[in-house]
Amino acid sequence: MVKALDRKLVRDLLRMRGQAITIALVMGVGIAQLFAFVTMYQSLEASRDVYCAQSRFADLFDHLDRAPRAVLSRLAEIPGVAQVEGRVVQDAPLVIPGSRAPVLGHFVGLSDHPDRRLNRLQIVEGRDVAPGHGGEVVVSAFFADARKLHAGDFLTAVLGGHLVRLSIVGVGVSPEFLYVANPRTGFIDSENYGVLWMDGTAVATAFGLGGAFDDVAASFAAAAHPQDAVSAFDRLLAPWGGTGAVLRADQPSAKVLDLKIDQYRKMVKVVPAIFLGVAAFILNLVLSRLVATQRDQIATLKALGYDTAALARHYLLLAAAIGVLGAALGLGLGSVEARDAIRILGKYFNLPLLVYRFNWAAAGAGIAASVAAGLLGALAPVRRTVRLPAAEAMQPEAPESFAPTVIERLRIDRLFGVAGRMVLRDVERHPFRLTLSAVAVAFATAILLVGSTMVDSLDRALTVQFTQVEGEDLAVAFDRPRSAGALADLDHVPGVVRAEAQRVVPARLRSGWRERTLSIVGVPRNATLRRFRDVEGRRLAVPAGGLVLSRPLGKMLDVRPGDALDVRVLEGAQPRLRLPVASFVDDMTGLSAYADLDDLDHWLGGARAVSGALLAVDRSRFPDIQRRLMRLPAVAGFSRPDLDRQQFESQESNALRALGVMLAIFAAIIAVGLVFNNARIALAVRARDLATLRILGFSRGEVATVLLGEQALQLVLGVALGLPLGWAMGAAMLASIPPDLFRVPAWLSPGSLIEAALVVLLSGFACALYVRREADRLDLVAVLKARD
Amino acid sequence: MADVLLSGRPLAKRYQMGDVQVVALHDVDFDLRDRELAVLLGPSGSGKSTLLNLLGGLDRPSSGTIAYRGQDLSRATEPELTRYRRAHVGFVFQFYNLIPSLTARENVALVSEISERPMKPEEALDLVGLSERLDHFPSQLSGGQQQRIAIARAIVKRPEILLCDEPTGALDAETGRLVLEAIERVHRDLGTATAIVTHNAPIAQMADRTITLHDGRIASDVPNARRLSPKEIRW
């Protein structure tokens, strides 16, 4: 049987439904993020783990110049190694009619035994390559989607300088290529960089590596010591140009997926806490007011024999009910958000199987967090009032005392009219309320700006990179380090105005036990096309005689300018050098090392060698130039920076725009929740004062100023606090991205600042207008007759 | 002579209002006997409501003792006072103090649900003549009807003591008489010891005894030779 007190609870809740819903919405958004992020990272983790186990994802990867296949048996004998697979993996241009940008194919040779393959290729359309059939390929699913390719289509590639027609027999995915970045740009470029699996022998022959391998994957036995295996691989493959073995965790595809999972794990700790904290605060304000207006009811219930515990339970249940409503909203929204996000992430990472489970633990945590936030908000006001002795509770609340304060003593109040003075005096007597409300608005503004910071920072980085740094029209990569003569060949291609050497040397840098494998970039003294810059846009100065390191790299290796590094070059003769650190630079491109190009040539034996070239060309002759470049045997591939940027922006900008809209909605929810409740409370508390003012002759507008003046102050202060807070939070989020992926300096445009301020201010304003309507409709006589 | 149900000796109550100490009661000796109907008369600020609050266990005296059937209430803890009110005392207030979000029946059920041997809410409402308003909310009822619901709520637990603080203070004369009739009927039918606080002197004519307070002291304590029914009282 439902008790009378519980019926009161339900009816009280219904009567304050507007406030309850706005508070529940704020809680709901927080719970949705909690549930969605937990579900997303756990589902991604589970999907990855299941898929990688099923597809026999290798534990170790290494790339080398070339080694005879006989070396594989020596690798297989390394303790802890269960299986070794040698293959040829090379990039080569693809000829796609009508393509504006150069298209590169990443060719991967397949072993003849599909069942025993590591990094098993899963066919999603068509069939696998038949052993011995050199003209057949399976293309990666993301490339097939972008280029609308299907089994049965044909493709032309430039393999070893020859045009080769390939038959697409299937579309597939592999754990090795869940995330594939175009090596030229570092970003996903599904249209212009695809993976093609081909018969192993055919690939080897096409690239002049018959009977050899230049890439190896290995799996470990259960008792393996991974670091020992890495050292053994490095030792055995060093004579063959091995670039250094990497374990699965450092494999690019696996690493990016780990980063995404880690990002969600971190966001679980921060974002929901902000929303739940704001909701608890608003609930505290609302319940304080409710309990104050029900003071006489509380006194009556005490007089009737209800004890403190029963009364406390009654009001705490009301708060808990709002918490449960928030949890219900949040779980509903969160499960939809999680499901959609997992589907999008599945496509982004090309995961062929997605494990999605309704995460009961996350749901339980969400409900508990929401109810806890509600109870936390209710605790203080309920405790204060239900502990009042019954006789005292029967008396009306003591009216506030209004003695002169700072504002009056400094005569600042004289600057304002009566309405303004009423607002200021109320604010001065409740500084805590103003401060906390402004902080809540600040968080709303900050949440919005986190997204804007990401967008603006990325945009600025791209602008700097593609307009100030990359001045070339085309960037050409050679198949291997070539002599200066290769540069001259490019210079002679009709339409090429200028060709500058590009030298990138793979190397392992070591300081003590710390080491890092990366590429040393040679910077020509008189470079005009590639103008290396730091994050502030300043031209990078590379002094002679030493290395310039990205600052995070310097920290990782624990070196300072003046210290020396052991450098092992991972190409050619693989010389070992000891080079000084000249200085640090704050650049944007991950972990990099730079050296004067002349110095680099000198360290590596004296003769100028080039790994590629940067070309300034007559743009009207792009198609012809591209055709000629593709026919040069030394050219492994090339890219156009202008098209790279367009591609990146079209892929990433939609996602970022959607994120921006979502964050704007969240910010508006907090602003609305706060202003609506504060304004409703103010109306309830001051109804008698406002009615009196109306009767005395104040206009509706003047009365609205008294009612909403404090809310306006909260909004303005909150936005002012929120702008720097949002910038700081966005910068912190960017700084949390591992520097070896990329570094983007934080940047916020004035437009974004104005937009964020407007979203929050307008949301609050709209809400205030709604409450003002109620104030305009006050029944003056009824209000004045009512008992306090 | 009937047994003394409630006894106060010598009761004093002081309040601190900012820098000023207000003495609401000065050494008051008071008894309420079983089945007695007493009226506490006095002007505003005389201490009559303060005395009622002490008798009802809503407050504790600053000095002196209150005993209910010999049990000392003046040193009782808050839970003990709550149990005392729950089990033995019914209250009627000047402004009814009904819960606005509950119907008439539910307001009465608030008390019957926490009482040991209550009557049914419908019975209590019938006793005050409101059987046809069971499911009305307070806002749908007149002042007199609301006050009668408050009376029904006070007596549904069959209390030994009924304390009424200015029960007709917010009502017109005619409605006030109706309310007093309800109180008298309840007092008669249930045998409840009843104390009515009022500033309206004619109401004292319905009492067994009239205690007059002035400036926090008992000015007089006079038995009535003849009790009038509320119908006969004019003010």
Of A11, A390, A391, the CB nearest to B101: A11
Whether the Cβ atoms of residue A580 and residue A563 lie closer than 8 Å to each other = yes
How is residue B26 written in tokens?
């000065």
Which residues, in sequence order, are CB contacts of A270 under 8 Å at separation 6+?
A: none
pLDDT tens-digit map of A382-395? 888 777 777 777 76
A303–B58 CB contact, under 8 Å: yes
pLDDT value of residue A788: 45
DSSP string, A681-709: HHHHHHHHHHHHHHHHT--HHHHHHHHHH
> Which positions in chain B touch A3 (Cβ < 8 Å)?
109, 113
Q: Where residue B101 sits, what CATH number does that domain have?
A: 3.40.50.300
> Which positions in chain A touch B98 (Cβ < 8 Å)?
300
Task: Report the 10 Å Cβ neighbour count for A459.
Answer: 18
pLDDT value of residue A464: 77
Q: Which run of H or E residues covers position A588?
A: none
Rounded Cα distance, A673 and A711, in Å: 12
pLDDT value of residue A631: 73
> Which positions in chain A touch B153 (Cβ < 8 Å)?
304
How is residue B171 written in tokens?
């009502």
Rounded Cα distance, A418 and A428, in Å: 15
B59–A389 CB contact, under 8 Å: yes
B87, pLDDT greater than 60 = yes
Provide the residue type at A250 as one letter: D
Of A11, A300, A305, the CB nearest to B82: A305
Rounded Cα distance, A279 and A377, in Å: 8
> Distance (Å) from the C-alpha of residue A750 to the closest C-alpha of chain B?
52
pLDDT value of residue A448: 86
What residue in A sits closest to B84 (Cα-Cα)?
A305
Positive/negative CA dihedral, A404, A409, A410, A416: positive
pLDDT tens-digit map of A203-236? 999 999 999 999 999 999 987 899 899 999 999 9
pLDDT value of residue A103: 86
Nearest residue to B150 (alpha-carbon basis) of B140, B161, B162, B160: B162
B18, pLDDT greater than 90 = no
Region B213-233 average pLDDT: 92
pLDDT value of residue A157: 93
Provide the residue type at A206 as one letter: A
Tell me the CA distances in angstroms from A590 to A454, A459, A535, A595, A742, one per residue in order.
17, 17, 12, 16, 4
Select the more confidently predicted residue: A483 or B11: B11
pLDDT value of residue B168: 92
pLDDT tens-digit map of B37-70? 999 999 988 999 899 989 998 888 999 999 999 8
Interface of A with B in 7-36 (CB under 8 A): 7-8, 11-12, 15
| Owner of token pair 């003010």 | B235
Beta bridge partners of A482: A610
The three-point CA angle A290-A291-A294 to 5° equals 90
Of B58, B87, B102, the CB nearest to A391: B58
What range does the domain containing B132 cover? Answer: 4-232
B59–A301 CB contact, under 8 Å: no
Rounded Cα distance, B150 and B108, in Å: 8
Q: How many domains does chain B have?
A: 1
Residue ranges in chain A whose pLDDT is less than 70: 184-187, 395-405, 408, 413, 418, 535, 588-590, 647-648, 650-656, 695-697, 738-743, 780-788
Largest CA distance in chain B: 52
- The chain-wide mean pLDDT, for chain B, equals 90
Rounded Cα distance, A338 and A47, in Å: 14
